[in-house]
Chains A and B, each alone.
Chain A
């Protein structure tokens, strides 16, 4: 670390490799292309400034995601009186009204190969907290422990939230499958 310029060069090269992931996460959080782009720039700006705090052998990607999430929460704090939270009770009630068993035919979802765009749209339509955890685990591949650190919540919360999110996503995709099948008849 004796040559900050050199270190910055290496850091910059490594950091830019995560641009698509960061942009995807920013889209997950903001749901807006321009806001997401602002958030990505803000994240890199903060990362550049805090680069010296990054411990050797740290998980750079996870570190950048933490920066992005904090930047986003900071924006929300200023935008409103407090952070925005999804109404979990309502979502859980909605799930509770559905049958206990999963979809009638667990394979119905695979009758037609779902297009990538449809899956992306289904994920995109999830409530923010569900969307976020699906993206972190299933799209970005973070472990439960890494997600718990990133979200500053217990691993048990990660597990339960991820379970609910996937269940909701499964139902969404199944519903679309049924609609497509009905149209085809």
Chain B
């Protein structure tokens, strides 16, 4: 498998504070990677490092063997797409216009052409949001908007999608819809990297789980290796019981209450 991202002994942070220390991480094409770890461990910082939004203080971040910072902004956007939470008030674009933003790195300032319209329509159909197309994005529920965000990312670049906590504020139905969509995309060749809070969700969907603690790689491996009481207990400083998800067969954990 081809290696897409290579992070080597990277230190990174904001201002004078260092969040990530000496991180080494490889991400190969076709993987479905979940970054998990306690609040403030550095998951979002790693997402920002991968996407070139944040430059490491030391060390390197490479995409396909080339330093991320040597790419032009638009070139990076053509190679992978990012789904982050949009803070503040979202302007009232229609879902159709919003999906069209995904074409921007490919065509720049030109207006949406007929072929773009086809791409947008096809993506909407593939992601099951055709019914939302004429609605305004600020009228959608959080779950619907997240599906639209993933669809927009898909319009932009179907090769690699990087997501920062895509399901943290969604209900069960929309969590399943978004994660199922990501799995389906992954099966058809899209590399998925996402920061997740829900270990069981990560266990159900990922090919590899990367555990981050205190800004460093704690452990990384298939869900069957990582999701157990010993590793999770040490990662989160909490006590867990482990089970097997009867529906998927993947390992899962439940926190033992009253023992913190």
A complexed with B: no
Question: Residues on A close to B: CB < 8 A?
Answer: none
